[in-house]
């Protein structure tokens, strides 16, 4: 039993490892992503600088200007590291390439999780290193505490898993819809606006903050962002609670949808 | 009897839902309509049919991807749809238009990954990989990223990858699509050789008559979800086309002769290529008439191309 479990972990880990190597080998995409990220960070750094100056305050949403830039580094690194999972699933379903996956002794979700995680880790590492360099260069370093980094390291994998489940939910809709592009577009925009990508949730009006904090988008972006720049134990517990809830709800949604979707497989071609 | 694949009265219906305004219309389409088939272990079968005939649906049921509406299927003793994971350990598949190789990595990396996915014992994996690399001439390509390989090289690597876990049944779906003549022939030889060497059952789906002719010993033609022809390739060819090609070379320019049921396909000063309907004029009689035309230097009797046989079968079984 234990051996079977270990074998499963080993095969999905190896998928992740292979995906990471493949991602690393595709250097052109990495370079273009770095350039894009540097541009975004620079623009928002200037923008926040004007906002802080105009408002004449030292802190916004509890963050200093320097912390705000480092917050952006974290959230941008997360969002730009997500592979286009929904597109891959959509493509596999529509072209019948799903057959290649289903013909192997693998879980469809597990295989995508391994692949997506492998790709994401490489992208995230590159993004974080480059983002940190840019932030250090233009704003200077901030003080990181060991406990804060530990909390960030615990919240981050949960954020990745929830994000994976979210993208998988969108992708699996391809079994019912002709194209998932519309849903994916709405989902990603909601994530950017309501997850705290460029503006931390603490900057939003007090009346909407409780709603935004209860959404899964916050568990993916705002939670790790805050943990990196302004960690507190109370916030950590709150974030972890929200993430656990999202994980259960999203996870259940994905497995239920996948189970139902497999009965709807129409494989064309050949 | 050691059976590779057993199919009994297999049926598959798809429900197509369409909305006409607010009205939901369900139309049932029968893709597979009562297929019964036995494929003994080690046999190489060409499973062919026109587009939409139901061959792809059948293959997907055999691999456990689709659930049938009714019927029984046993592949290596497993019921594919309820024992998909177990069956997957023993089947391999090559989809000509869908790659399993990692595009930015060398084939070696995909091979390593496949070994982990199938949980292959290290020694056995290395032994199989070395044998495949050697026979498929992949040595110099194993460390080259797949994106830098030619289509022919890629397909060789693709087929080798699908044989790595020593499957007992191999599904080949359009394996030679897009390949040039040499690469096509190479691949056909390799599949045929591996089938003979390892005794694997091969299910080949292809629109290329050459693939069928060179790889398969048996051809199963399906149309409208039913088996319309099943038999050895040579027998099917003879059963369905009553003509033969006569290629005659003369020592001197031949005189015109009348051969009933004969159509001249090409004619030069010293060579005639004719197609004769053997139900009108038997081959021996046609040759006797040609001898009257002039002294013969060489003569050959050929079967018509398989392509034409297939076309005829499709036409005969058209709605």
- Can you tell me the mean pLDDT for A189-193? 93
Q: Give the global pTM.
A: 0.82
In degrees, rounded to 5, the angle at the alpha carbon of residue B109 between the alpha carbons of residues B106 and B114 is 130
- Can you tell me the mean pLDDT for A135-139? 89
Q: Does the pLDDT value for residue B1 go beyond 70?
A: no
Q: Does the pLDDT value for residue B127 go beyond 50?
A: yes
Distances (CA, A) of A262 to A121, A131, A227, A239, B67: 29, 41, 39, 34, 9
Residue A269 pLDDT = 41
Residue A185 pLDDT = 94
**Which residues face B28 on adjacent strands?**
B15
Q: Does the pLDDT value for residue A261 go beyond 80?
A: yes
Q: Which residue of B has its CA nearest to A97?
A: B98
Residue A161 pLDDT = 96
B319 part of a folded domain: no
Q: Does the pLDDT value for residue A27 go beyond 80?
A: no
Please judge whether A270 and B110 are an interchain contact, meaning their C-beta atoms are less than 8 angstroms apart: no
Residue A116 pLDDT = 96
Is residue B17 packed enough to be buried (19+ CB in 10 Å), middle (13-18) or exposed (0-12)?
A: exposed
Spatial neighbors of B107 by CB under 8 A, at least 6 apart, are B101, B138, B141, B142, B144, B146, B149, B157, B160, B161
Measured between beta carbons, the chain B residues lying within 8 angstroms of A266 are 14
Q: Which residue of A has its CA nearest to B69?
A: A263
Is the same domain home to B202 and B140? yes
Please judge whether A22 and B104 are an interchain contact, meaning their C-beta atoms are less than 8 angstroms apart: yes
Q: Which residue of A has its CA nearest to B61?
A: A267
Residue A111 pLDDT = 94
How many angstroms from the chain centroid is the CA of residue B2? Answer: 22
The minimum CA-CA distance between A40 and chain B, rounded to whole Å, is: 28
pLDDT tens by residue, B163-175: 999 999 999 888 8
Is the same domain home to B246 and B270? yes
Please judge whether B100 and A100 are an interchain contact, meaning their C-beta atoms are less than 8 angstroms apart: yes
> Residue B36 sits in which domain range?
3-238
The minimum CA-CA distance between B240 and chain A, rounded to whole Å, is: 25
B312 part of a folded domain: no
Please judge whether B63 and A103 are an interchain contact, meaning their C-beta atoms are less than 8 angstroms apart: yes
Q: Is B165 near chain A, with CB under 8 Å? A: no
- Can you tell me the mean pLDDT for A23-40? 87
Structure tokens at B258: 């009348």
pLDDT tens by residue, A64-77: 999 999 999 999 99
Return the exposure string of B235-251: e unless at least 16 CB atoms fall within 10 Å of the residue's CB, then b. ebbbebbebbebebebe
The minimum CA-CA distance between B134 and chain A, rounded to whole Å, is: 24
> Number of structural domains, chain B?
2
The minimum CA-CA distance between A230 and chain B, rounded to whole Å, is: 39
- Can you tell me the mean pLDDT for A220-240? 93
Measured between beta carbons, the chain A residues lying within 8 angstroms of B103 are 22
Is the same domain home to B195 and B146? yes
Residue B186 pLDDT = 86
Structure tokens at A246: 């999202």
Spatial neighbors of B253 by CB under 8 A, at least 6 apart, are B269, B270, B294
- Can you tell me the mean pLDDT for A4-11? 81
Please judge whether B57 and A11 are an interchain contact, meaning their C-beta atoms are less than 8 angstroms apart: no
Please judge whether A96 and B103 are an interchain contact, meaning their C-beta atoms are less than 8 angstroms apart: no
pLDDT tens by residue, B50-85: 888 888 888 888 988 888 999 999 999 999 988 988
Please judge whether B117 and A269 are an interchain contact, meaning their C-beta atoms are less than 8 angstroms apart: no
Kindly indicate the confidence band of residue A266, based on its pLDDT and cuts at 50, 70 and 90. low
B44 part of a folded domain: yes
Kindly indicate the confidence band of residue A265, based on its pLDDT and cuts at 50, 70 and 90. low
Measured between beta carbons, the chain B residues lying within 8 angstroms of A270 are 55-56, 59, 95, 173-174, 205
Please judge whether B117 and A15 are an interchain contact, meaning their C-beta atoms are less than 8 angstroms apart: yes
Query: At A135, phi and psi to the nearest 5?
Result: -65, -40
Is the same domain home to B277 and B191? no
For chain A, the structural domain boundaries read 2-262
- Can you tell me the mean pLDDT for B97-123? 92
Measured between beta carbons, the chain A residues lying within 8 angstroms of B100 are 100
Q: Is B64 near chain A, with CB under 8 Å? A: yes
More confident of the two residues B62 and A265: B62
Q: Which ipTM did the prediction report?
A: 0.84
Is the same domain home to B127 and B257? no
What's the CA gap between B48 and B50, in Å, rounded?
7
B67 part of a folded domain: yes
Is the same domain home to B266 and B226? no
Return the exposure string of A117-139: e unless at least 16 CB atoms fall within 10 Å of the residue's CB, then b. bbbbbbbbebbbebbeebbeeeb
Please judge whether A265 and B65 are an interchain contact, meaning their C-beta atoms are less than 8 angstroms apart: yes
- Can you tell me the mean pLDDT for A88-116? 87
Distances (CA, A) of B270 to B18, B260, B319: 64, 21, 44
Is the same domain home to B228 and B285? no
Please judge whether B104 and A106 are an interchain contact, meaning their C-beta atoms are less than 8 angstroms apart: no
Residue A15 pLDDT = 96
Q: Which residue of A has its CA nearest to B53?
A: A270
Least confident of A52-56, A168-172, A258-262, B223-227: A258-262
Kindly indicate the confidence band of residue B3, based on its pLDDT and cuts at 50, 70 and 90. low
Residue A270 pLDDT = 35
pLDDT tens by residue, B203-260: 998 888 888 888 898 999 888 889 988 999 888 877 777 888 899 999 999 998 888 8
Measured between beta carbons, the chain A residues lying within 8 angstroms of B93 are 99-100, 103
Q: Is B98 near chain A, with CB under 8 Å? A: yes
Q: Is B166 near chain A, with CB under 8 Å? A: no
B318 part of a folded domain: no
Q: Is B234 near chain A, with CB under 8 Å? A: no
Please judge whether A21 and B116 are an interchain contact, meaning their C-beta atoms are less than 8 angstroms apart: no
The minimum CA-CA distance between A36 and chain B, rounded to whole Å, is: 22
Measured between beta carbons, the chain B residues lying within 8 angstroms of A105 are 85-86, 88-89, 117-119
Residue B27 pLDDT = 84
Q: Which residue of A has its CA nearest to B173?
A: A270
B144 part of a folded domain: yes
Q: Is B206 near chain A, with CB under 8 Å? A: no
Element of type H or E holding B267 = strand B262-267
Q: Does the pLDDT value for residue B279 go beyond 80?
A: yes
Please judge whether B66 and A267 are an interchain contact, meaning their C-beta atoms are less than 8 angstroms apart: yes
Residue B59 pLDDT = 87
Residue A2 pLDDT = 52
Residue B2 pLDDT = 55
Is the same domain home to B34 and B166? yes
Interchain CB contacts (distance < 8 Å): A and B: 86
Least confident of A245-254, B98-107, B237-246: B237-246
Is the same domain home to B91 and B227? yes
Share of chain A above pLDDT 70, in %: 96
């Amino acid at each position: 039993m234990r051996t079977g479990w270990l074998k499963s972990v080993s095969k999905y880990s190896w998928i992740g490892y292979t995906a990471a190597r493949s991602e690393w080998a595709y250097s052109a995409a990495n370079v273009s992503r770095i350039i894009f990220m540097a541009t975004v960070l620079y623009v928002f750094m200037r923008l926040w600088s004007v906002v802080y100056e105009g408002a004449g305050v030292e802190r916004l949403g509890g963050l200093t200007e320097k912390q705000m830039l480092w917050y952006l580094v974290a959230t941008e690194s997360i969002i730009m590291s997500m592979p286009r999972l929904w597109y891959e699933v959509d493509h596999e379903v529509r072209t019948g390439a799903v057959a290649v996956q289903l013909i192997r002794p693998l879980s469809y979700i597990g295989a995508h999780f391994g692949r997506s995680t492998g790709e994401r880790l490489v992208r995230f590492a590159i993004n974080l290193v480059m983002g940190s360099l840019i932030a250090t260069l233009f704003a200077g370093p901030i003080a990181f505490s060991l406990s804060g980094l530990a909390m960030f390291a615990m919240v981050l994998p949960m954020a990745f898993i929830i994000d994976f489940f979210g993208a998988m939910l969108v992708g699996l809709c391809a079994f019912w819809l002709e194209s998932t592009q519309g849903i994916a577009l709405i989902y990603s925009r909601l994530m950017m606006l309501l997850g705290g990508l460029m503006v931390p949730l603490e900057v939003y009006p007090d009346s909407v903050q409780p709603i935004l904090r209860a959404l899964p988008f916050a568990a993916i972006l705002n939670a790790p962002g805050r943990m990196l720049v302004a960690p507190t134990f109370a916030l950590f517990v709150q974030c972890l609670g929200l993430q656990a809830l999202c994980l259960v709800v999203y996870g259940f949604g994905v497995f239920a949808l996948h189970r139902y979707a497999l009965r709807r497989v129409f494989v064309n071609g050949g | 009897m050691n059976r590779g694949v057993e199919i009994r009265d297999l049926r598959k219906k798809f429900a197509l839902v369409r909305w006409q305004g607010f009205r939901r219309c369900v139309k049932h389409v029968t893709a597979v309509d009562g297929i019964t088939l036995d494929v003994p272990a080690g046999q190489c079968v060409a499973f062919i049919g026109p587009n939409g005939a139901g061959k792809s649906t059948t293959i997907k049921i055999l691999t456990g991807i689709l659930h049938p509406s009714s019927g029984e299927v046993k592949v290596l003793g497993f019921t594919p749809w309820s024992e998909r994971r177990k069956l997957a350990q023993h089947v391999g598949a090559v989809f000509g238009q869908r790659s399993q190789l990692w595009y930015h990595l060398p084939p070696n990396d995909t091979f390593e990954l496949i070994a982990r996915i199938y949980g292959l014992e290290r020694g056995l994996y290395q032994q199989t990989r070395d044998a495949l690399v050697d026979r498929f001439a992949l040595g110099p390509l194993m460390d080259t990223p797949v994106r830098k390989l030619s289509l022919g090289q890629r397909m060789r690597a693709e087929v080798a990858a699908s044989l790595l876990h020593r499957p007992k049944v191999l599904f080949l779906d359009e394996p030679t699509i897009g390949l040039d003549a040499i690469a096509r022939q190479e691949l056909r030889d390799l599949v045929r050789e591996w089938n003979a060497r390892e005794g694997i059952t091969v299910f080949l789906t292809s629109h290329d008559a050459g693939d069928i002719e060179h790889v398969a010993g048996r051809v199963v033609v399906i149309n409208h979800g039913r088996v319309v022809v099943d038999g050895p390739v040579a027998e099917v060819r003879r059963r369905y086309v009553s003509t033969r090609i006569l290629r005659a070379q003369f020592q001197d320019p031949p005189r015109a002769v009348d051969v009933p049921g004969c159509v001249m396909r090409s004619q030069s000063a010293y060579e005639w290529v004719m197609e004769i309907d053997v139900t009108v004029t038997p081959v021996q009689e046609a040759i006797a008439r040609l001898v009257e035309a002039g002294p013969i230097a060489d003569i050959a009797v050929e079967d018509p191309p398989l392509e034409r046989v297939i076309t005829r079968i499709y036409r005969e079984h058209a709605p």
